[in-house]
Amino acid sequence: MIATIDLSSFTDDSKRPHDDSEQVQAGRALVAALHTQGFAQVIGHGLSQVEIDQALNWTKMLFDLPYEDKMKAPHPPGSIPHRGYSGIGKEKVYSHDDVTADEDESDVGKSLRKISDFKESYEIGSECDPVQQNIWLPEDALPNFRSYMTDLYIKLCAVSKIVLRAISIGLGLDSTASAALTELISDHHCQLRLLHYPAISKEKLENEMIARLPAHHDWGTFTMLFQDSRGGLELQDPATQCFHRAEPKEGAFVINIGDMLQRFTNDYFISAVHRVSLPDLDNAPSSGIPARYSIPFFVCPDFSYTVSTHPKFISGETPAKYDPVKFDEYGVMVSKYQYQVEELP
């Protein structure tokens, strides 16, 4: 069962109490869910279902464009900068076990790509990011797309800070620890991703080795995922190792913990394993698998920021489990198989 947490006490002036008791209650509920499972559904976060639907409609309009138009904003060779359009099967998602495998890197990369991820994506960041500059479609390819997505990025940054404030209150952090926690969000280094999982015919399921999105966890601070009505996200319960479907919920996004928050809290929060799977062939509809769209927003610190375990989460009984790590160096390590240069664009 995936918990649903209401943060309207942080966002709705009409519900905001004279004291902070409701915010403390909501923060503690969010922390409890993230501590036990690593994920939760969040409502009352400040974005309406109308705004979510509008963002998903823009995503559909983007991917409905002819391939030639989408390729006017191609993702560059390699995984950095992670911006622009990637066609079906260009990006590969994988687990941390693949990153640490004791094998030749070229062999690992080729082995992972024997099964392609049947999706296409478009990556967007801050217009002020000096490291990863945005790659936009020409304005006439999809008028107002750039301005809309720029505004959406700013809105989602604001939502992420509300979530982080709730986490801070729920953890009972003092001002010093809370300030350290806020360093795990950078206005200029988060990532807005638009995703399209095209329809798959039953014949393609029978004849091709394809996947949607293999089990993995994210390497940022946390991720906020907005799904269309078809859904598809599955989250792994760390206690049972079973995957549970995150059913789309009116006005909600799914939050899952990433590696940086796990390291900061010394495993008090665990980076959540999640996937988008395909049904077994015997259970697949005769008409095939319909298309779906989603929008993950990856909350991250500055590229140059060094993430360390905070002293609050260290004691004689629980020493620090992680060495400090620079976020950019960590990202390069875990994304090394994400793209193969020879396969782009």
- Which residue segments constitute the domains of the chain, with CATH numbers given? 4-343 (2.60.120.330)
Q: Is the pLDDT of residue 110 over 70?
A: no
> What crossing angle do the helices spanning 21-36 and 145-171 adopt, rounded to 10°?
100
Q: Is the pLDDT of residue 98 over 50?
A: no
Helical H segments across the chain, by residue range: 8-11, 21-36, 49-63, 67-70, 96-99, 105-112, 145-171, 175-182, 202-207, 259-264, 327-334
Spatial distance between the Cα atoms of 31 and 26, rounded to a whole number of angstroms: 9
**pLDDT value at position 338?**
56
Confidence band, pLDDT 50/70/90 cuts, at residue 112: very low
**Per-residue b or e along 289-314, where b marks 16 or more CB atoms closer than 10 Å to that residue's CB:** beebbbbbbbbbbbbebebebbebbe
Spatial distance between the Cα atoms of 342 and 119, rounded to a whole number of angstroms: 19
**pLDDT value at position 337?**
56
Confidence band, pLDDT 50/70/90 cuts, at residue 319: very high
Amino acid at 131: V
3-state SS track over 217-269: CCCCCEEEEEECCCCCEEEECCCCCCEEECCCCCCCEEEEECHHHHHHCCCCC
94 against 124, higher pLDDT:
124
Task: Supply the DSSP string of 281-313, one letter for each residue.
Answer: GGGS-TT-BPPEEEEEEEE---TTPEE---GGG
Residues contacting 340, CB < 8 A, separation 6+: 92, 109, 113
Q: Is the pLDDT of residue 100 over 60?
A: no
Spatial distance between the Cα atoms of 134 and 145, rounded to a whole number of angstroms: 13
Spatial distance between the Cα atoms of 59 and 5, rounded to a whole number of angstroms: 26
Tokens 């705004």 correspond to: 51
The CA-CA-CA angle for residues 267, 303, 265, to 5°, reads 15
Lowest-confidence segment of 76-80, 158-162, 329-333 by average pLDDT: 76-80
**pLDDT value at position 97?**
53
Confidence band, pLDDT 50/70/90 cuts, at residue 209: low
Confidence band, pLDDT 50/70/90 cuts, at residue 170: very high
Note the Cα 254 to chain centre separation in Å: 9
Arithmetic mean of pLDDT, 276-294: 77
39 against 94, higher pLDDT:
39
21 against 109, higher pLDDT:
21
User: Measuring CA to CA, which residue among 72, 88, 273, 85 is closest to residue 193?
Assistant: 85
Spatial distance between the Cα atoms of 208 and 97, rounded to a whole number of angstroms: 25
Arithmetic mean of pLDDT, 229-251: 92
Q: Is the pLDDT of residue 279 over 80?
A: no
